[in-house]
Amino acid sequence: MQPKQMEQVILGFDPGKDKCGLAVMGANGQLYAHQVVPAATAIDSIKNFCQQWPIAKLVMGNQTTSKSWHQKLSAELKSLPIVLVDERYTTLAARDRYWQMYPPKGLQRFVPQGMRQPPRPVDDIVAILLIERYLEGRSSEV
């Protein structure tokens, strides 16, 4: 699905040492893509997303490895504004969001949510949450 012409599209980035989460979302909350990529290919993946969608800015978590990633991204993507967002507790929130996006099936439904572990990394869902935090913070400034 492609965004409307004038819609602002935001790229969420959850930086990490081994793997990174990416998400593309419109300012209206429409999710266009999300994936977890190896850290070694993250910049290429970001460039690919920038070719696929009219990315207006990159929203990035401000904790683990963010300083070194910010420097790399600023050097590689000179024209793309980078906004740092508080990423505290996003991994926990992403686990809960995972089960909302992908409800458990079979016997897994009967395991209390707090005891379930998602069957895959949730870094991409963290990237979604970072965009949402950015959008919420922006709307509270108005």
Taking the domains of the chain in order of start, what are their residue ranges? Answer: 9-141
Residue 140 pLDDT > 70: no
Residue 68 pLDDT > 80: yes
Angle between helix axes 123-141 and 90-101 (nearest 10 degrees) is 110
Instruction: Please give the C-alpha separations between residue 127 and each of 19, 106, 109, 123, in angstroms, as whole numbers.
Output: 12, 28, 26, 6
83 neighbors 59 (Cβ within 8 angstroms): yes
Residue 72 pLDDT > 50: yes
**Domain 9-141's class?**
alpha beta
Q: Is the pTM of this model over 0.85?
A: yes
| Separation between Cα atoms, residue 9 and residue 21, nearest integer Å | 17
